[in-house]
Amino acid sequence: MDLVRDKIRFKHYSYSTERTYVHWIKHYIFFHNKKHPVEMGKYEIETFLTKLATKDKVSPTTKNQAFSALLFLYKEVLGVDMSQWNIQALRAQERKHIPVVLTKEEVKSVLQNIPMEYSLVVHLMYGCGLRMLGLIRYMFGIQSR
């Protein structure tokens, strides 16, 4: 796992990507009874990803995240050429996500009913399209790793 972390940091990936990749790689190894990834291959990856889609019922994006972590492990860390593997795993069902969009009147009503001590911050967030975490990081000078 130290090699994985070193390679991620060398490539300047974000800290959250590091945490996510390490999580999925550990999950993969433990799923196969702590077998070393060098001893595994296409079949084990397909089995793991299919299990995520069927038994764990993870979202397609989560499954893609796990798959990306395994690709990183094999290609970048272990130096395995996976181009001929043609990995076939049962795909998780795509979920239809319809975003909720407020009307101009609803936005105006929300902004008018914000308590005075939060008004500036909420207007700033809305006007700049900031997410809560982005605003917090900006306000407190927190750098993402």
Domains defined for the chain, CATH in brackets: 2-77 (1.10.150.130), 104-140 (no CATH)
- Which residues have CB under 8 Å from 32's CB, separation 6+? 40, 44, 48
Contact criterion met (CB below 8 Å) for 89 and 46: yes
Question: Which pLDDT belongs to residue 91?
Answer: 56
Q: How many residues does the chain have?
A: 145
Matching residue, tokens 């764990």: 56
Tally of CB atoms within 10 A around 50: 16
Closest residue by Cα to residue 23 from 74, 60, 81, 62: 62
Mean pLDDT of successive 10-residue segments in the chain (145 residues)? 90 92 94 91 89 86 89 89 74 68 90 91 86 80 70
CA distance 47 to 90: 9
Question: Which pLDDT belongs to residue 34?
Answer: 92
Contact criterion met (CB below 8 Å) for 94 and 51: no
Percentage helix, strand, coil for the chain under 3-state DSSP, each rounded to 5: 65, 0, 35
Tell me, what DSSP letter sits at residue 38?
A: G
Question: Which pLDDT belongs to residue 90?
Answer: 57
Whether the model pTM is above 0.85: no
Closest residue by Cα to residue 66 from 115, 22, 12, 130: 22
